[in-house]
Each structure stands twice: as structure tokens, then as C-alpha cells.
């Protein structure tokens, strides 16, 4: 199963979205406070009941935040909460006068956070949805005013599009700079720094859901021989091709990392030892039958471990167990998968 969805291209985008969603939580709360203060100040003219939709939007975001940690495709929950906030703002504007009230411009606020989370496709869908809500509010509430004075909807629509363009450009620049820190330059995989952030998130997720976290540690067999015989440029091409193959074989919510020269690590949220072993064997077979860097053939060995269901995800302990299993696979002749001989609880 490919590790992408219609909102995100791959696991790297998902990692960025989760990171940005965490960063946006505090500013989002501050924004809600600012909007609440504005609504209170406008209460004599608009009515204080407008605070109710704002509170509902806050509850929706809270529900989405709670679901993100324990779901396979968190982007759908994040996008659903985002779309709901646009709809709630549109409803509030409609009930307070539609296109003739200054609050029409508030529909631009969610657009700022759109490009911080999703790919170009997600941004396009979000902008289209916002414009649809804007037009529905304008034409649906007071079509006569809109036809008599089209700038009532042309202005906010142009503002939505302009904000999306500018925020996307700024975010792409930020992504490029941040990618230099968390993306392995050669293979395009996530690196050790990205792994550090993911560990903290999975630890909290395991605590909330009680589900295990599986881990696969892999090392290419006799990779040095390829560098020595074919050259380092071919070796680099082999690493890139192997990385691509691993990514395409994983599930949507699994993430693969390059943690050394020819060493890779895969985190499997919700997978116990048996399921992690099945996935590792799938990866091993895919590598064994493929060619890399043109005509190079090679194999890979895997060590597998997992945290206990209902227990803590102790990354150092799980990694140590998987790494020991990898050494066992190497000692047994390579091109094989070895799992933890006993549970982490028993080992401890």
C-alpha cells in the first residue's frame, strides 16, 4: 500500500503536517481568543450568540487533535476540522448579514494554515471549498446586494486566493530549509533528526491507545562490495533505489528512515511483533527480486521488535532488541528476517 493519500504525497509530507499541526495549536488558541474578543466588542450590533459557533469550532479542533495521535491517516481528521471551521465561519457570517458585514473577510483566516499542512492538491481543494462557502453565503443570503454590487464577493474571493498564494510561497521556502535538516540528502528519506520528533509522538500515542509499536531495522548485505566493484556513484544510485522501493512497499502510516550508511529503520504504529515480521519479510522479498542502480542485485537483512500491547513504547529498548535481531540475521547467513527471541517485558 502506497504511503500517500489525496491530501499528502508521502510519509514525509505527513511528518511535516503533524509537526506543523503541533506548532499551530498554541497560535490557533490565541487566534480564537482574538476573534472572541472581537465578537464580544461587536455584541451590541451582531449579538453575543456569535460566540457559540466559535466555541463549536474550538471543540472540533480539540476532537481532531485527540484523534490525530491514534489514527492511520491523520490528515483526514486535520482537514475535516479545517473544513468545519470554514463552514462555521460561513454560517456565522450568513446569520449576521451575509455579504454586507465585515466578517466576510474572516474566511481568509483558515487559508493561512492550509499551506502549512497540505500539499498543493490539498491547498487547491481547500481554497475551492472556501470560495464555494463564500459565494454560498453571499448569493444565498443577499443575492440582490451581490448583483447590485459584485465587489461584495469579488473582494473577499480575491483576498482568499491572494492569501493562499502568498502563504504557500512562504511555506514552500520554510519546507525547503527545514527539509535540509530532517531529510537525508541522498535518498530523500527521513533522517535521525526527524526520527527523534517521531519517537516522542509515538510514545504519547502508545500511551493513549495502548497499541504496540513495531520496529524494523535493516542493513544491506555486502553493500561495500558494490562500492568497491562498481564505484561510489553506483552505490549511491543503489541506496536511492532501495529507499524508493522500501517507501512504496510500506503502509500509509508507516515511516522509513535512513539511520546510517546502508542501514534503514521503519516504525510501524499499531503493529505487534508478528505483523512487523510479516512486513519485514515483504520488504526482504521485494529487495531480493529487484535490481538497483541499473543492474545491481543485492539482498537485505532485517531485525524486528515491538513494544508490548498496553505498555509504554520504550524506543531505546525496542531498538536494542531489533538491532540484536539484525545481528542474528547477519550471523545466520544474511538475506533473512529475525525477530526478538522473547518479549521486551521478559527481556527487561
Over the range 39-53, which residues count as b (16 or more CB within 10 Å of their CB) and which as e? beebeeebeeebeeb
Please give the backbone phi and psi of residue 338, each rounded to the nearest 5 degrees, phi first: -130, 135
Q: Can you tell me the distance from the alpha carbon of 5 to that of 117, in angstroms, rounded to the nearest whole number? A: 13
Distances (CA, A) of 199 to 108, 139, 191, 306, 328: 35, 49, 12, 13, 25
Domain boundaries, the chain: 11-182, 192-347
pLDDT digits over 209-226, tens only? 899 999 999 999 999 999
Lowest mean pLDDT across 46-50, 125-129, 279-283, 331-335 = 46-50
38 contacts: CB under 8 Å, gap ≥ 6: none
Alpha carbons within 13 angstroms on the beta-carbon side of residue 235 total 15
Burial (CB count within 10 angstroms: exposed 0-12, middle 13-18, buried 19+), residue 291: exposed
Average confidence (pLDDT) over 73-96? 88
Where residue 264 falls (left for φ over 0; alpha for ψ -120 to 50; beta otherwise) is beta
Count of other CB atoms within 10 angstroms of residue 161:
15
Active-site entry in 15, 75, 211, 262: 262
The mean of the pLDDT values for the chain is: 86
Lowest mean pLDDT across 16-30, 195-209, 215-229, 302-316 = 16-30
Q: Topology of 192-347 in CATH? A: Alpha-Beta Plaits (3.30.70)
pLDDT band (50, 70, 90) for residue 345? very low
Residue 343 has a pLDDT of 37
Count of other CB atoms within 10 angstroms of residue 202:
21
Q: What's 50's DSSP letter?
A: G
Q: Can you tell me the distance from the alpha carbon of 172 to that of 115, in angstroms, rounded to the nearest whole number? A: 8
Residue 162 has a pLDDT of 94
pLDDT digits over 128-137, tens only? 999 999 999 9
pLDDT band (50, 70, 90) for residue 174? low
Lowest mean pLDDT across 34-38, 174-178, 329-333 = 174-178
- Would you call 262 a catalytic residue per the annotation? yes
Residue 70 has a pLDDT of 61
* Strands, sheet with 213-220, edge to edge from the N-terminal-most edge strand: 255-258, 263-269, 213-220, 300-306, 337-339
DSSP string for residues in 261-307: SSEEEEEEET--HHHHHHHHHHHHHHHHH--BTTTB---EEEEEEEP
pLDDT band (50, 70, 90) for residue 342? very low
pLDDT digits over 15-61, tens only? 677 777 777 888 888 888 898 898 888 888 877 877 888 888 888 88
Amino acid at each position: 500500500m502506497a504511503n500517500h493519500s489525496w491530501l499528502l504525497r508521502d510519509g514525509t509530507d505527513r511528518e511535516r503536517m503533524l509537526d506543523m499541526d503541533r506548532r499551530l495549536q498554541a497560535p490557533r488558541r490565541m487566534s480564537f481568543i482574538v476573534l472572541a474578543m472581537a465578537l464580544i466588542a461587536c455584541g451590541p450590533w451582531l449579538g453575543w450568540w456569535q460566540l457559540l459557533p466559535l466555541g463549536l469550532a474550538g471543540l472540533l479542533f480539540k476532537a481532531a487533535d485527540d484523534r490525530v495521535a491514534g489514527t492511520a491517516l491523520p490528515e483526514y481528521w486535520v482537514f475535516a476540522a479545517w473544513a468545519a471551521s470554514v463552514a462555521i465561519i460561513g454560517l456565522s457570517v450568513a446569520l449576521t448579514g451575509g455579504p454586507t458585514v465585515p466578517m466576510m473577510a474572516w474566511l481568509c483566516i483558515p487559508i493561512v494554515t492550509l499551506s502549512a499542512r497540505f500539499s498543493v492538491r490539498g491547498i487547491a481543494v481547500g481554497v475551492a471549498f472556501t470560495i464555494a462557502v463564500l459565494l454560498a453565503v453571499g448569493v444565498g443570503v443577499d443575492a440582490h446586494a451581490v448583483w447590485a454590487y459584485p465587489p461584495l464577493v469579488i473582494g473577499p474571493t480575491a483576498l482568499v486566493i491572494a492569501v493562499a498564494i502568498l502563504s504557500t510561497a512562504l511555506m514552500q521556502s520554510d519546507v525547503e530549509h527545514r527539509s535540509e535538516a530532517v531529510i537525508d540528502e541522498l535518498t530523500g528519506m527521513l533522517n535521525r533528526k526527524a526520527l527523534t520528533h517521531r519517537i516522542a509522538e509515538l510514545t504519547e500515542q502508545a500511551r493513549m491507545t495502548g497499541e504496540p509499536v513495531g520496529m524494523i531495522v535493516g542493513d544491506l548485505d555486502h553493500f561495500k562490495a558494490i562500492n568497491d566493484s562498481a564505484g561510489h556513484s553506483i552505490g549511491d544510485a543503489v541506496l536511492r533505489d532501495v529507499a524508493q522501493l522500501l517507501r512504496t512497499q510500506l503502509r500509509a502510516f508507516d515511516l522509513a528512515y535512513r539511520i546510517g550508511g546502508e542501514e534503514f529503520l521503519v516504525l510501524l504504529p499499531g503493529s505487534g511483533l508478528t505483523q512487523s515480521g510479516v512486513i519485514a519479510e515483504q520488504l526482504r522479498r521485494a529487495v531480493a527480486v529487484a535490481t538497483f542502480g541499473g543492474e545491481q542485485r543485492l539482498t537485505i537483512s532485517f531485525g524486528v521488535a515491538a513494544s508490548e500491547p498496553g505498555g509504554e513504547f520504550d524506543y531505546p529498548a525496542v531498538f536494542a532488541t531489533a538491532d540484536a535481531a539484525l545481528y542474528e540475521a547477519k550471523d545466520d547467513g544474511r538475506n533473512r528476517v529475525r525477530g526478538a527471541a522473547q518479549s521486551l517485558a521478559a527481556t527487561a
